[in-house]
Structure 1
Amino acid sequence: MERITNYQLFTMTFLYQLGTTIIFGFGSNAGREAWIAALCSTLLGTIVIMMYIALMRMNPGLTLIQLFPAQLGRWVGTPISWLYPLLFLFDAGRIVGDLRDLVPSTILPNTPPLVFNGLFMIVMAYALFLGIESFARAGENLFSIIILLFLIEVVLLFSSKVINFDYLLPLLDKGWSPIWKEVFPAGITQSYGETIAFAMIWIQTKNPERIMKITIISSLLSGVMIAFSLVLAITIFGEDLFKRSIYPLYTMLGVVNVGDFINNLNPFGVIYFTTTAFFKMYIKIFAAIYAIKQLTCLQSYRVLILPAVIIVLYIGMTVSKNVSEHIFYLALKIVTPYIWVPMFLILPAILFVVTWVKQKVIKRKSNST
């Protein structure tokens, strides 16, 4: 079995949680309080992740899809387990849809989306064939690059003198209601609830006892980075323009202008947006094919890579007609309330309660004897 180090798990979790969240204006309906919504989502989402890790600790050596049959029985648990690899493949396809809409509208307007996404998925298939350990080593290097690019971006934005902190005021003038609407369910399930995919990978870490600490730190760091990015976008564009922009964190790179020499850094934004999207998609597909391998008792997951990649590409190219349908209808009105909430919150919570009660009963019986 391939093994992942503590630092590799940290970098993978961080890049995964940035994922496609860093592309869009998280919590834009909360207006200038979007960054508060991001921080609240981070705190509550981290608690959800702690529940996932607690489940793993109560069932040592088992992956996500093995937990349900172990605790709920084969006839109930196995059908539920099958839902997760199907969901992971669908979510990976939605990431392809994100890139299908982003790349042609930004740096490659004359390139057919199928060409870019097709090449992207070829690289994805190659990375999957190399295995999770090689992918984790790549994450170590790319983490440093992403952080460096972000710091350069911050310095250049401040040097361009386009930031106006008055745009953040007045604070909470509409109360907490708009913030909580962004926090639940979308804020908690996006990135943080999606981290349930790592429950297919945690058993491959070298020090399972440190997973809780590592994951909490990486989750908080990614949340702070997203919140700070939102602060930058709001202080540059103001509330109205921020709410209307589909890609505010990408657009703000276009306002960089230092001495009429350093400007138009949008392509660099696409580079690190694509990188984090790649990481998130990889984990989703790997979790899906590894789950199917366990459910079907296959010898190797590699025979599933090409079919999975083709399915993900097809979903991504057909899941929605345009970016508005993709984000505002499919993601917010369908996927989040009717798929993510049951799969990321309700079912794991039920599993947690059942596991806890069973262990309490077993412990009581052993004490009585």
Structure 2
Amino acid sequence: MYKISSYQLFVITFIFQLGTTVIFGFGAAADRDAWLAQLLSMCLGLLVILLYTTLMRMNPGLTLVQWFPAQFGRWIGVPIAFLYPLLFLYHVGRILGDVRDMVSTTILFNTPYLVIEGVFIIIIAYCAFGGIEIIGRLGEIIFPLVLLMFCIQVILLFSSGVMHINNLRPVLKDGWAPIWKVAFPGGMTQPFAESIVLSMFWTDTKHPEKVMKVTVLATIFSGLMIAFWDIQCISVFGGLFSHFLYPLYTLLGMISIGNFIENLQIFGVLYFFSTAFLKSTLTILSASKGFQQLTGMKNYRVLTIPASVIALILGMTMSKNISEHIYLHFLKIVLPYVWIPLLLVVPAILLIVTWFRQKVFKK
């Protein structure tokens, strides 16, 4: 079986956590303090990452869906474990909805939704069928491209003279309350707690003992990068930052050097497509692998196409527009009733049970 290197794990974790956060921005509710909200979210997210990687160390050789039967028993653990592949399919559907809304409102205005999402999911299914080996190599390609685009973006923005550090002031105008509201629970779950998807692949690494260190470093790197994106947006737009649906896309439109280098929104599209694509592929593969392990099937590949079709149907039907997609489904339903229980509460309970079984009951 192919094993991914520590470097490949680092790059896919980094790109996964950027995900759709790249184009949507982060922490608009905190206004000019969005970058502080991101840093706080990263710190809370690191605690969640430590929770997941600790569970991995306490259940050596097992993936996420195998942790629960191992600790809770078959009758309780298997039904709980099945919730995670289902959650992953739903999450891919949400990413497809993000892609649909972004593309249809920025570059392909009259393109049918089915065409946008259909083409995207076909590419995802093809890469997921190739397995973690293909995804690891894709990560190695996408990672330097993302860094290169980021560096070019920073240089061009500074050269355009549109960034004004004074726009970051006043810092903590409304205190820590709005920052904390952004960071907990939304900021720590998206994108950091979502990294539970990657626990399906930690057993496929060449050096499992390095998973915790590599994942923590990737989390810090992605968190700092998102915070710096917020700083750029706020330094250009000031308080208007919170009113943009796609702040990074709008930010790149501000680049203007000598009436020659202008309107580089295509960078924003490339950011979004590359990170959303890798994140979706990893999540589809995690769902397929999870169902395969829970049902005892020999190969996950036969599940890739059905999983992709279900994700496409979800992406087409879960919401009619961007407002319903984000403000109704995500903030009112998914975050409090799905993500918090499955990404925070259940893993915390699992850690306690595992600790008691291995330390207390064993004695």
TM value normalised by structure 1 = 0.97
Report the Cα distance in structure 1 between the residues aligned to 2:242 and 2:272, rounded to whole angstroms. 20
- The alpha carbon displacement at 1:362 in A equals 4.5
Describe how 1:263-282 pairs up with structure 2 within 5 A: 263-282=262-281
- The alpha carbon displacement at 1:219 in A equals 0.4
Is 1:206 matched with 2:177? no
Report the Cα distance in structure 2 between the residues aligned to 1:196 and 1:64, rounded to whole angstroms. 8
Report the Cα distance in structure 2 between the residues aligned to 1:15 and 1:99, rounded to whole angstroms. 16
Describe how 1:63-82 pairs up with structure 2 within 5 A: 63-82=63-82
- The alpha carbon displacement at 1:25 in A equals 2.5
Report the Cα distance in structure 2 between the residues aligned to 1:280 and 1:332, rounded to whole angstroms. 21
- In the alignment, what sits opposite 1:189? 189
- The alpha carbon displacement at 1:302 in A equals 0.5
- The alpha carbon displacement at 1:110 in A equals 2.3
Shift >3 Å, 4+ stretches: none
- In the alignment, what sits opposite 1:328? 327
Secondary structure in structure 1 of the residue aligned to 2:284: helix
Describe how 1:1-369 pairs up with structure 2 within 5 A: 1-239=1-239, 241-364=240-363
- In the alignment, what sits opposite 1:367? none
Per-residue CA deviation, residues 265-295 of structure 1 (Å, 9 max, x unaligned), is: 0112101211100111111111111000001
Query: Is residue 289–residue 308 contact of structure 1 (8 Å, CA) maintained in 2?
Result: yes
Report the Cα distance in structure 2 between the residues aligned to 1:73 and 1:298, rounded to whole angstroms. 20
Per-residue CA deviation, residues 24-73 of structure 1 (Å, 9 max, x unaligned), is: 12110000000000011011101111110100101101111111111011
Query: Is residue 92–residue 283 contact of structure 2 (8 Å, CA) maintained in 1?
Result: yes
- For 1:328, the aligned partner's letter is Y
- For 1:69, the aligned partner's letter is P
Query: Is residue 186–residue 335 contact of structure 2 (8 Å, CA) maintained in 1?
Result: yes
Query: Is residue 22–residue 271 contact of structure 2 (8 Å, CA) maintained in 1?
Result: no
Secondary structure in structure 2 of the residue aligned to 1:62: coil
Report the Cα distance in structure 1 between the residues aligned to 2:106 and 2:180, rounded to whole angstroms. 32
Q: Which runs of 5+ in 2 are unaligned?
A: none
Deviates more, 1:126-135 or 1:298-307: 126-135
Report the Cα distance in structure 2 between the residues aligned to 1:298 and 1:252, rounded to whole angstroms. 48
- For 1:50, the aligned partner's letter is L
Report the Cα distance in structure 2 between the residues aligned to 1:25 and 1:186, rounded to whole angstroms. 13
Query: Is residue 23–residue 271 contact of structure 2 (8 Å, CA) maintained in 1?
Result: no
- The alpha carbon displacement at 1:98 in A equals 0.1
Report the Cα distance in structure 2 between the residues aligned to 1:129 and 1:80, rounded to whole angstroms. 26
Report the Cα distance in structure 2 between the residues aligned to 1:349 and 1:130, rounded to whole angstroms. 33
Query: Is residue 37–residue 182 contact of structure 1 (8 Å, CA) maintained in 2?
Result: yes
- For 1:295, the aligned partner's letter is L
Report the Cα distance in structure 2 between the residues aligned to 1:329 and 1:251, rounded to whole angstroms. 24
- The alpha carbon displacement at 1:169 in A equals 0.6
- The alpha carbon displacement at 1:329 in A equals 1.3
- For 2:113, the aligned partner's letter is P
- The alpha carbon displacement at 1:337 in A equals 1.1
What is the total number of aligned residue pairs between the two structures?
Answer: 363
Query: Is residue 192–residue 219 contact of structure 2 (8 Å, CA) maintained in 1?
Result: yes
Report the Cα distance in structure 2 between the residues aligned to 1:362 and 1:346, rounded to whole angstroms. 22
Q: Indicate the percent of aligned positions where both proteins have the same amino acid.
A: 54
- For 1:292, the aligned partner's letter is F
Per-residue CA deviation, residues 192-225 of structure 1 (Å, 9 max, x unaligned), is: 1100111111000000000111001100000000
Query: Is residue 29–residue 182 contact of structure 2 (8 Å, CA) maintained in 1?
Result: yes
- The alpha carbon displacement at 1:141 in A equals 1.4
- The alpha carbon displacement at 1:132 in A equals 1.0
- The alpha carbon displacement at 1:23 in A equals 1.4
Report the Cα distance in structure 2 between the residues aligned to 1:255 and 1:115, rounded to whole angstroms. 30
Report the Cα distance in structure 2 between the residues aligned to 1:272 and 1:156, rounded to whole angstroms. 16
Per-residue CA deviation, residues 104-141 of structure 1 (Å, 9 max, x unaligned), is: 11111122221122111111111012111111011111
Report the Cα distance in structure 2 between the residues aligned to 1:277 and 1:134, rounded to whole angstroms. 16
- For 2:87, the aligned partner's letter is L
- For 1:313, the aligned partner's letter is L
Secondary structure in structure 1 of the residue aligned to 2:350: helix
Per-residue CA deviation, residues 330-366 of structure 1 (Å, 9 max, x unaligned), is: 11111111100000000000000000111112542xx
Report the Cα distance in structure 2 between the residues aligned to 1:361 and 1:173, rounded to whole angstroms. 48
Query: Is residue 25–residue 242 contact of structure 1 (8 Å, CA) maintained in 2?
Result: no
